[in-house]
Structure 1
Amino acid sequence: MALQLRNSKTWLSMGLSAFLTVGCGSPASRDPQQLNLPLPGQWQSASALQSRVSAHWLDSFADPDLTLLVQRGLRDNFDLKSAAARVSAAREQAAIAGSARAPQLYFSPGYRGGRDGANDESGGFSALFELQWELDVWGRIRDARQAAMEDAVAVGEDYQAARLSLAARIAQVYLAWREAILQARVAAESVKDRGVIVELVRGRFNKGLTRGLDLRLALTDLANAEAQAAETQNAEQALQKLLTTLLGRYPTDSAALHAKVNETAFATSALPQPPPALAAGLPSELLTRRPDVIAAFKRLLAADQRLSSSEKALLPRVTLTAAGGSVGTALADIVDPRAAAWHLAAGLLQPLFTGDRLQADIRLQQANIEQAYRQYQSVALNAFREVEQALAAESRLRAQELALREAVAQTEASRKLAVYSYRQGLIEILTLLDSYRSTLNAQSAHLAVRRQLLNNRIGLYLALGGGA
């Protein structure tokens, strides 16, 4: 009797200690701005900003074809559909995690028959019910369900991030394809111009006005231009096939893309004009606007809830069980209320020794919180970097575009002057060929930087977490 009393006191002491250690409250709330990082009051390159970021940033490019392609991609892309399925799976996982809070009721009808040594047959029917219910007194199951719900929200934010990333990817590939078409046209025009130069040099060679070396140099330059034209055509078809793949369609040629996407040819191959400068808001606003940052924060909250649930596993569990039903030799017997029997039991389960499993699980969840917090810091810091980088590149790319635009104008003028000077015998063939190469390089570089400027704006929208 004394031994039983000592055991009871030990059991009560451990239960009370666990209760005082864990408590029955919820995890403390977190602030998304608790990064242990000094956040500036405004972006470092905010001086050039004007309008606020739009939730429909595609409209700022004023390109109906671009808008249409992105809409088709968001509807048909297989990777995005897979991300949407993960959202549904996470929501159902949250429902599963919370189902333990409700009573679990089972029904098991059956029949048992047999034959003894005297060949006498016997049998009976049964209709049994069983009820199991763990009363979530301390909120352990609730915390586990809340953790799964936070994870589901995080997966939903992952989907929004994937949706925004896909829209930006389609837009950037579309613009790269547009540039490739223009680069191919510039290269083809350059081949045509080099052919004119070859005929000019050949005519002068036949008249004895120039050397054979000049003709060889002109022919070499023409061959190089033809090779460059073929390279631009290959780049154009590769980008076009990548674009169709992002749209969830079989890689096909440009004509088929026009027919499948828009039923008509695209209106123009020119690159759209860069949108006006925009306002990026405050750095702190990014923490509650950008989907991947929100997802990382939600996973940190989920880790907090799992730690709370693990700590509450040290507390006693209160369970209710009930069973009942009826048994009879005939079906009519089991529906007779007088044949029914039942019993009800309430129990208390207090963990005493689990081989350090529960304590190790608490330490595991604490480590998971540390990992989730550091991951949140990393994601947020990377988001700040992307915004600052895009903002800083904006003004520099605009200055570069203006300089290259002037370079195109100057090289075109110098090319015309070089042709005239060569006809008059005032310059060598190398000077003439160099003027053509300079014109081609300036035109190609200008197209490239215009596309980079547009890509940087798309990257800024993506970094700011704007809608699509």
Structure 2
Amino acid sequence: MPAKPCRPMLWILSALSALWAVGCESPAPRDPHALAFQTPPRWSSNGHFAEAAATGWLAAFNDEHLTGLVSSGLADNFDLKSAAARVDAAREQAVIAGSGRWPQLSLTPVYQRAKSNVGGESSESGAFTALFNLSWELDVWGRIKAGQQAAETEAEATGDDYRAAQLSLAARIAQAYFEFTEAQLQATVAAQSVKDRGTIVDLVRGRFNRGLTRGLDLRLVLTDLANAQAQLAQARNDAQLIGKRLQTLLGRYPGNGQEGATEFDATFHLPQPPETLSAGLPAELLERRPDVIAAFKRLRAADSRLESAEKALLPRVTLTGAGGSSSAALTEIIDPRAAAWNLAAGLAQPLFTGDRLQGEIRFNQAKVQEAFNQYQSVALNAFREVEQALAAEAWLRTQEQALREAVEQTEASRKLAVYSYRQGLIEILTLLDSYRSTLNAQSAHLAVQRQLLNNRINLYLALGGGV
């Protein structure tokens, strides 16, 4: 009969089997679509739900100056370069995290010189020593691998952060470009208003000199002219502020006047955004937006860190070695007969750590919950941005059409008011109101045109498509 294994050996085998089973467990896979809130099958503010979401939004504006500025900014912006450096640093951090899976070998060459004095006679001696040390933790349970996986996933998330930064920078450059264009157009409108007010001043002064109007009318038109000149100065100041902000986004020194601005002020024209835009399906957003993807990967990285912390409770299997040789002559130090070495294998099982390991497990469990809720928040905010931009576009288009009609009406009323004042049919205040109404309508129309363009860019950015 074969000998029965002793009971202690059965206990040891059972314990090792249990440890192996526990050590090989991996965290449950995550589903990016497993959200804590319900998402609709289609966008509530968009009818083009059956089509794929739009990509390559920059070309849709058909503006060569804008395309050139975005390309320049993506190459020269310092914040984006910092984001690229963070990606490199995260990748190297993953290399560092995985280095513990490999043997660690070090060599220490030493030369020692000694002098002794015995019986009145002194002697000196020297020796060359070459020592090496080897240490290797066998990652039996995958603790180090889990930490490496966490670092690699974090590096991937940092790469997604970089893509998000690229999209954000391109959007900010485009929006600043349209803001600068609007500011220049606002300054043009204000300058024309000053010119028109000057014409009114000449008209009223002539009538005053002929005794056809009161001095109060002349004071009123002079006051109105001064206000128009102040508005022109404000418009030009707004333009230079936006121009300097745009130059900074491009990684250039914000020069004075028009220096450095010739590349983006060649033409002052606000284009109309494309008429239709497909936003795709809401479920697709979770796999398109870089910030959402990065948040999900950080959740997975937190899972891996928790796995590594839990496996720290298991025994660690290590191999250690040391050796070297010593000789008075440097040429003899490489003689194998002079070498001595030792190799040892060990098993280290944590027994009492002052609750440190359990604290690290609880800490990482809390970090997993933090990452989970952060992912939910980022995803929910992404849905809000898309729905908000889709709804805003419809209202902004309605507002733009109404203001376009208002501009046409105020221009017609202004011409009629000038004629009526010349005929003495209306007071000066009515004439001045007509000019102010024209200026306000033109200014508001330009502002809503720019808001419509900015909202379209916000929508492209919210959808997460490429530049």
Q: 1:19: how far off?
A: 2.3
**Identity score, percent:** 68
Per the TM alignment, residue 55 of structure 1 is displaced from its structure 2 partner at its CA by 3.0
Structure 2: 5+ residue stretches without partners: 1-7
Q: Name the structure 2 match of 1:96.
A: 96
- Please say if residues 127 and 326 of structure 1, whose CA atoms lie closer than 8 Å, have aligned partners that are also in contact: yes
Alpha-carbon distance, 1:111 to partner: 1.0
Determine the structure 2 residue equivalent to 1:229. Answer: 232
Alignment of 1:230-379 (within 5 A): 230-253=233-256, 255-258=258-261, 262=263, 266-379=265-378
Partner of residue 446, structure 1: 445
Counterpart among 208, 211, 215 of residue 212 in structure 1: 215
Q: Which runs of 5+ in 1 are unaligned?
A: 1-7
TM-score, with structure 2 as normaliser? 0.94
Residue 64 of structure 2 is aligned to residue 64 of structure 1: yes
2-structure distance, mates of 1:17, 1:351: 18
- Greater shift in the superposed pair: 72-81 or 111-120: 111-120
Specify the alignment match of 2:79 in structure 1.
Answer: 79
SS of match in other structure, 2:408: helix
Q: Distance in 2 between matches of 1:420 and 1:21?
A: 95
| Structure 1 position 276, deviation (Å) | 2.5
Q: C-alpha displacement at 1:15, in angstroms?
A: 6.3
Are 1:121 and 2:124 an aligned pair? Answer: yes
* Alpha-carbon shift at residue 277 of structure 1 (Å): 1.8
TM-fit CA distance, 1:206: 1.1
Identify the residue that residue 45 of structure 1 maps to in structure 2: 45
Q: Could you tell me how far 1:24 is from its partner in structure 2?
A: 1.5
Which residue of structure 2 lines up, in the alignment, with residue 192 of structure 1? 195
Matched, 1:24 2:24: yes
Aligned to 1:36: 36
Indicate conservation of the 8 Å contact 2:48/2:280, yes or no: no
Amino acid at match of 2:247: T
Q: Given that residues 43 and 282 in structure 1 are in contact (C-alpha distance below 8 angstroms), is that contact kept between their aligned partners in structure 2? A: yes
AA matched with 2:433: D
Instruction: Name the SS for the 2:318 alignment partner.
Output: strand
Q: What is the TM-score with the length of structure 1 in the denominator?
A: 0.94
Task: Tell me how far 1:323 sits from its aligned partner.
Answer: 1.6
Q: Secondary structure at the match of 2:126?
A: strand
Aligned residues: 456
Alpha-carbon contact 1:303-1:369 (below 8 Å) kept:
yes
Corresponding residue number in structure 1 for 2:158: 155
Structure 1, residues 178-219: CA drift from partner, whole Å, max 9, x if none?
A: 000000000000000000001111111111111111111111
Note if contact 1:221-1:433 (Cα within 8 Å) is conserved in structure 2.
yes
Inter-CA distance 78–339: structure 2 relative to 1 (3 Å threshold)? same
Distance in 2 between the 1:348 and 1:221 partners? Answer: 91
Q: 1:258 offset after TM fit, Å?
A: 4.2
Displacement after TM superposition at 1:320 (Å): 0.7
Tell me how far 1:328 sits from its aligned partner: 1.0
Instruction: Give 2:405's aligned amino acid.
Output: E
| Aligned CA-pair RMSD | 1.9
| Deviations 1:243-298 (CA, angstroms, capped at 9, x unpaired) | 11111010014532245xx4xx7542111121222111111111111011111111
- Whichever residue aligns with residue 72 of structure 1, its letter is S
Amino acid at match of 2:455: N
CA distance in 1, matches of 2:259, 2:53: 35
